[in-house]
Structure 1
Amino acid sequence: MAAVSVVLFLLLAVVVSGAISRMLPISLPTPLVQIMLGAIIGLSTSYRVELDPELFLLLFLPPLLFLDGWRIPKDELLKDVSTVVELALGLVLLTVVGMGLFIHWMIPAMPLAVAFALAAVVSPTDPIAVSAIAARVPIPKRMMHILEGESLLNDASGLVCLRFAIAAALTGAFSVGAAALNFLWVAGAGLAIGVVVTLTVTRTKAWVTRRWGEDTGSQILVSLLIPFGAYLLAEQVHASGILAAVGAGVTMTFAEISRQALAVTRMRRNSVWDTIQFSLNGIIFVLLGEQLPGILAGARQTVAVTGHSAPWWLAVYVLAIVAGLALLRSLWVWMSLRLTILRKRNRGESLQSPDWRLIAAMSFAGVRGAITLAGVLTLPLALDDGSPFPARDLAIFLAAGVIIVSLVLASVALPILLRGLRMPPEPSRQAEEDMTRIATAKAAIAAIEQRQHMLAEESGDADLYTSTAARVMDFYRERIEGLSDGRSDDLRMQERLFGDFLLAGVAAERRTLAELVRRREVGSTTVQKLTRELDLAEARFRG
């Protein structure tokens, strides 16, 4: 009963945090508000959430990474794939090695394997925290796509490195050759399992749907189970469950193209996944805040591991790690952009040197968040011989400090750096969009004509079906004419005006419907049906 109450209380804190972050006069990112609420919860109650590392990893990471892989724009990712790979793989390896050695040098009492583990958990970035920070300052789309792609891949690469570091800490041995071979198996098998699980499930689901129809609730539940199934299966064969979840999410995009679900299923499924993403990310930050009082209360014992007695040394270590991460990231971003420019110039393309603010913004955008906390909490409680895991509390304290400091720094620096920042110009997608609209409109007209002839032959009343079909086809012909003769701008203006007028009509319909409900002149079934129709119409023109 106590566990259920805690979960409900955490969810309530997530809801309240969203409201508070919107009410505050200053632009305070939601993750920081959630951390503060969690700290208030931790101070106001004697109950402490005991986090089981394996359970925490299973519950939080698979769905979050699966959704990231599913929703990330694949075309935009491929456009900057070299930059993304350089940041997600090269920078992670540099961070693990460089920061691991630096942390061990700075804190000799922390074993090298544990220092590498800490460096591995602080290497992944969190784009959700970045978008929350820059909510009032729009992030250039291309920059956000790079950050999303980097986060998707560096989550996996950082956590795989964490796995090797923990294994080295538990066994006391590490072989580069064996680790390389193990990495190939862990990564390759994990990705393959994610792909196979998704394809198998979606094909089976499509076969069942064709024979017996589609049940919306079952379809949504299946999508929720896929990341957990891929994760657990990969872990059973000692592959990377993290990469399996990522591979499953990426494959889901392509599987959905050929095996489309019903429109109502997609709409409800998107709403469910939005809620899950918001809840899980929020709970992670609230849990971080809830753990903070206990972490700070043990600061004196924690700092004793380092050979010091004053707790302020922990703040020094946190700031030193944040500074080291920022320095490495700045250097890597600068080199990555220079290499990109060099490659473009070798192909005959002319590119200007990047604005220093772009490099600074990309550097400060390396905010640590949910994945870092989830990763550090998976550190084992004990070694294989039963002795306590060395410097575990210290690693958790430092990781939590890095998360908070990086959030605060980014919330201050990013709005300043992003204001007025322009990325290199993007090629227009308008011609591609117009071509697609014309092609789909022609296909719609052909299908309507075919349907019209079929119904007319069956009923014998051709005039009724011809006039009705003509009304629908005129809508598509106007679209084709508007996009084909160079009046696409006028057509889009008409679409916007049409949407404005329709939204005004929808608002009037809602007011009238509410008045009829208050007078009890309409039944609940009719109200539900009309409300859904109004919701769909409003979503169509507000989206």
Structure 2
Amino acid sequence: MDEVLLLTIILAAVVLANILARHVTKIPLPFFLIFLGTLLAGLPVYKNFHLDPSTFALAIIAPMLFNEAQNSSRLWIGRSISNILSLAVGLVLVSVLIVGTGLHLIYPVLPIALAFSLLAIVTPTDASAVNSIFEANPIAEEQAGILQHESLFNDAAGIVLFDMALTAFISGTFSMELAVWTFLWEFLGGLLFGSAIGVVIVSARLFLIRYNDDTPLIMVLIQLLTPFLVYLLAEKMAFSGILAVVAAGLVQGSERDKLRLTSSRMQLVTSNVWEIVSGMLSGTVFVLLGLSLPEVITAMHVSANPNFGVYRLIALGLFIYFLKGIIRLVWTRYLLKRRVKTNHEWRDSMVMALSGANGTITLSLAFSMPNMVNGQPFAFRGTVNLLGGGCHPDEFDYAHHFRAAVVAKSGTKPAAVPLGATDDSGSYQ
């Protein structure tokens, strides 16, 4: 009963935050969510509140990525697949290895496996965050398409790397051969398994349509259950549940034309339901973040360990995001294929580097860090989550970092890109 009460209060906070954001438009919605979460932290029912990481991955990350995948453009993915995979897999791997190694060298107290876990947390870009930037500051269509669909695949790649690095830390052993095999098994196996299950589910829905059993209750519930079913089955097979969910979502989207045989009313209901679910899940993440802040601030200020000092960790966080941004800038300048050659390739690359916004998936991964390791409290949980931009009762005030990210992403990019400065070929004039 207590869990039901806690969830009800969190959802009520999400509703109130959305109402406030509609009337106070100058303040971003996440700040209202974080603020209300901070207020909820004072309630007795939320004392010592913790969320199980495995539950978080299943209940929040899986449906969010499924919805993101089913709304993706298969046409854009096909046209830009090499660039998307270059950013989503190649750049992620290189960033994790280079920045993670550099972080370990300048901050040796952090084990290298956890340094890699941290970089896996901050590598995913978020489609919602990227879209919100484009709404205020339009960029070239080709670049926008690449960035939006990059976020879908590097979410999955980052999550797989995060799981591998964290497993290496907990077990205390690492084998390159085993790591490569595990990555391929989880990555490729997850994609193939998710695609197969997705085809089966879509076929079942088409069968129901054929026999007029396509009522909103039946069809919407099947779609809502799909990410949970796919995730759980994939995890049982030792595949990446997240990648399987992404693949199933892509299959669902690719079959959308066939599913349009259903009534327009059913399509409208489905669209509205997923809009509500997506907003509810995203809002819940930020409310949970706000719930963490009071204990975070207290814990960080009373820490006697100089290695976990607030200012040192902030400096390390700036180092991570600066070096990651430089690598992204160089990668987009020299390793992406361009359909149209321009005289301002550095500016285009700067746009893509600055548009690699982090969002809800980064926060979700931060919440997925375990509370206990080998039966002992995870001493580095707060450090990793602070540097990664996440937050928990052992962590630091993420609001400052989020505020800085909003300013940096919304303020620096317009200076590099005039509004609407695109030509007919999709490149900047």
Distance in 2 between the 1:358 and 1:332 partners?
12
Q: Quick check: 2:70–2:249 contact (8 Å CA) kept in 1?
A: yes
Q: Indicate if the aligned counterparts of 2:370 and 2:378 stay in contact, CA closer than 8 A.
A: yes
Cα shift at 1:272: 0.3
Say what the alpha-carbon RMSD is for the aligned residues. 2.4
C-alpha distance 54-82 of structure 1, shift in aligned 2 (>3 A): same
Q: Once the two structures are superposed, what CA deviation does each residue of 1:280-310 show, in whole Å capped at 9, x if it has no partner?
A: 1121122222212222221135672x636x4
Q: Which residue of structure 2 aligns with residue 234 of structure 1?
A: 234
Is 1:315 matched with 2:310? Answer: no
- Deviation, 1:14, is 2.6
Between stretches 323-332 and 353-362, larger displacement belongs to 353-362
d(CA) in 1 for partners of 2:133, 2:29:
8
Q: Structure 1 residues 277, 108: CA separation in 2 closer, same or farther (over 3 Å shift)?
A: same
SS in 2 for 1:213: coil
Partner of 2:271: 270
Segment drifting more, 353-362 vs 291-300: 353-362
**3-state DSSP of counterpart to 2:211:** helix
CA contact (8 A) 2:333 2:345 kept: no
Partner of 2:50: 50
Structure 2 CA distance for partners of 1:25 and 1:181, relative to 1, 3 Å: closer
Identify, as 1 or 2, the structure richer in helix.
Answer: 1
Q: Tell me how far 1:39 sits from its aligned partner.
A: 3.0
Distance 1:43 1:318, change over 3 A: farther
1:82-132 deviations in Å (ceiling 9; x for gaps): 221111111100111112112212321111111111111111011212333
Does the 8 Å CA contact 1:133/1:410 hold for their aligned counterparts?
yes
1:415/1:282 CA distance change after superposition, 3 Å: farther
Q: Judge conservation of contact 2:133–2:410 (CA < 8 Å) in 1.
A: yes
Q: What does 1:62-461 correspond to in 2, within 5 Å?
A: 62-211=62-211, 213-259=213-259, 260-300=261-301, 304=305, 307=307, 310-337=309-336, 340-341=337-338, 344=339, 351-354=341-344, 356-384=346-374, 386-400=375-389, 401=398, 403=402, 405-426=404-425
Q: Which amino acid aligns with 1:394?
A: T
Structure 1 regions of 5+ residues with no counterpart?
Answer: 345-349, 428-543
1:355 deviates by: 5.1
Q: Secondary structure at the match of 2:167?
A: helix
Which residue does the alignment assign to 1:522? none
After superposition, the C-alpha distances for 1:203-240 in whole angstroms (9 at most, x for unaligned) are: 12322343353222110000001111111000001110
Give the AA of the match of 1:364.
L
Does structure 1 conserve the Cα–Cα contact (< 8 Å) formed by 2:138 and 2:420?
A: no
Partner SS for 2:68: helix
User: How far apart, CA to CA, are the structure 2 residues paired with 1:42 and 1:419?
Assistant: 42
Sort the Cα spacing of 1:273 and 1:221 in 2 relative to 1 into closer, same or farther, 3 A. Answer: same
TM-score, structure 1 as length reference: 0.71
Check 1:88–1:353 CA distance in 2 against 1; reply closer, same or farther (3 A cut): farther
- Cα drift, residue 393 of structure 1: 1.6
Cα distance in 2 for partners of 1:40, 1:133 equals 29
Q: CA deviation at 1:356?
A: 4.2
- Say if 1:367 and 1:403, in contact at 8 Å, map to a contact too: no
Greater relative contact order (Cα < 8 A, sep 6+): 2
Shift in CA distance, 311/170, structure 1 to aligned 2, threshold 3 Å: same
Bigger Cα Rg: 1
State the identity %. Answer: 29
SS at match of 2:123: coil
Q: Where do 4+ consecutive residues of structure 1 move more than 4 Å?
A: 43-46, 401-404
Q: Are the equivalent residues in 2 in contact too, given 1:134–1:415 (CA < 8 A)?
A: no
